[in-house]
Structure 1
Amino acid sequence: MSGVEAWVGWAGTHPFAVWLCGLALATGLAGGLYAGVVRGAPLRPAWAGRLPRPSGPAGLAAAMVLTAALVWACAHTLAVIADAWGQPTTAWAVMDDGLAGTLRATASVGTLTLFAWLTHFGDTAVLFVVAAGVGLALLWRGHRMLATGWAVALAGNGLLTRAFKHSFERIRPVHTHEIAAANGFSFPSGHSSSSLVAYTMLAYLAIRLLPARWHLPSMLAAAAVIVTVGWSRVVLQVHFASDVLGGWITGGVWVTCCLLLLHGATRWHRLRVAAVAPGARGA
């Protein structure tokens, strides 16, 4: 038995242990990101602070170029993963088929019911309500730039994920239980990508708009929900493990692109306001 097959056998029969390990890893990474970036970047090398930081139109153009490069890299990465699971002897294919088969044979009704409830955090209907509520709140408070970024992040991710799904046309794994069901193509996972984008953006908005005491909890909560939604799709056998990985890659790349563009647009807007302000005061 290979190492991949051994891991698949263990993971398929211990879904709660895998979930807890994923939560520990994700929240640990979120805590490290908070310490290294949000709180003054003590982990950032000294040379990073001396790099040029273009602003205005040049900064926005640089962000757009980088965004295009990241989306291309994302598409290429997904194609590599798709090629791997398309060959039945590769580690990806063994993991996908073995994990789905083991869960199908061993997952209890109680386990499936719990994860069927947890997966709702990534449902389209739930995220639509969250998107509408947060968007309206941002507009009401006068944060039009953030509201635009929030809308573009969620809507753009949906379009990008759908485009990838129809490009790869992967069939979902067989799931014989009736506790949860899903239709359409499988790769990448829409629940995984949309939850990553939505909850990462919520954490970002919390860091931008809420007092400092909310920053770390918001990042930890976002990481926990992202892992929970992704793993729930595997446990429910409506997605292969590589579908979830593809969803996280898609969502991670897209939210990075949106934050780059939002940062560039915000800096440009501030420069324009600062340039107009002296004239307005003189008048």
Structure 2
Amino acid sequence: MPFGLLLLLVEAQWSPLLRADDAARDNLHAFALTRGGFVAVMEALSNIGRWWAYLICFTVVIGWLLWRRLVRLALFVVVTVGGSGLLNELVKLAVHRARPVLIDPIANETGTSFPSGHAQGAMVGYAVLLLVFLPVLHGAARPIAFTVAVLMVLAIGFSRVALGVHYVSDVLAGYVLGAAWVALMVASFNTWRREGGRGPADLAAGLEPEIGPGLDPREI
């Protein structure tokens, strides 16, 4: 519902939303033009959120899960992360919103704008990492992991607006769609667990909390 509302407001060119998008675009662009260090940091964050970075990361994660014979979790990662990318491309194709246009751009991207693939990918990617590895995180490690994940999701989304390649509404739509997709995949995973004779997972303890006692965090 939140994603549908955002889409309707974008398609209807709702004035308050357009003004907010334009103000963020113009103010951040003006700030970035004279600050090379800021631009470098934003580009680094943006690169962390690119598809090839996730490919490297999740190839390692999937390989580790298969090595530990955690096939169900490996399939969850493949479908959730891979399906998110496909979903984003389909929605972008349907909406076909042009990217921000700036007279003196500091970054250039091809393709359409809504929703932000970086924002959606960050939401899905960091959520999946938390859901998979929470069983082996204990004590202070859990809040630290949550904090790092939240900060990275926000920072990657912000970098896309700061570089002038997305509107704020694109980023918000990416967050919302990514969260909805993860929720759908978790519900499907819990159905799979019930069919296997287990109850639904307590997400605060990860998707497969039973694996925690048998795993050594140093093996990650």
TM-score by length of 1: 0.65
The structural deviation recorded for 1:261 is 1.0
- Give the AA of the match of 1:153: T
Aligned: 1:252 with 2:182: no
Indicate the RMSD between aligned Cα atoms, in angstroms.
1.8
Tell me how far apart the structure 2 counterparts of residues 95 and 130 of structure 1 sit (CA, whole Å).
34
Question: Number of residue pairs matched?
Answer: 196
Specify the alignment match of 1:132 in structure 2: 59
Specify the alignment match of 1:145 in structure 2: 72
**Cα deviation digits, residues 145-196 of structure 1 (max 9, x gap):** 1111111110111111111101110110124556532110000000000111
What is the aligned counterpart of 1:106 among 22, 31, 37? Answer: 31
For structure 1, which segment, 118-127 or 203-212, has the greater mean C-alpha deviation from structure 2 after superposition? 203-212
CA separation of 1:266 and 1:175: change in aligned 2, threshold 3 A:
farther
- Give the AA of the match of 2:118: H
What is the aligned counterpart of 2:128 among 198, 201, 224? Answer: 201
For structure 1, which segment, 169-178 or 181-190, has the greater mean C-alpha deviation from structure 2 after superposition? 169-178
1:173–1:240 contact (8 Å) kept in structure 2? yes
SS at match of 1:187: coil
* Gap regions ≥5 residues in structure 2: 199-220
1:173–1:238 contact (8 Å) kept in structure 2? yes
**Cα deviation digits, residues 18-53 of structure 1 (max 9, x gap):** xxxxxxxxxxxxxxxxxxxxxxxxxxxxxxxxxxxx
Tell me how far apart the structure 2 counterparts of residues 173 and 234 of structure 1 sit (CA, whole Å).
9
Aligned pairs for 1:1-150 within 5 A: 73=1, 76-84=4-12, 86-87=13-14, 90-107=15-32, 108-150=35-77
Tell me how far apart the structure 2 counterparts of residues 173 and 179 of structure 1 sit (CA, whole Å).
12
Specify the alignment match of 2:164 in structure 1: 237
**Cα deviation digits, residues 64-93 of structure 1 (max 9, x gap):** xxxxxxxxx466234223234x24xx1100
Tell me how far apart the structure 1 counterparts of residues 146 and 55 of structure 2 sit (CA, whole Å).
21
Tell me how far apart the structure 2 counterparts of residues 192 and 140 of structure 1 sit (CA, whole Å).
30
2:10–2:17 contact (8 Å) kept in structure 1? no
CA separation of 1:224 and 1:75: change in aligned 2, threshold 3 A:
closer
- Give the AA of the match of 1:79: L
Tell me how far apart the structure 2 counterparts of residues 199 and 231 of structure 1 sit (CA, whole Å).
16
TM-score by length of 2: 0.82
SS at match of 1:270: coil
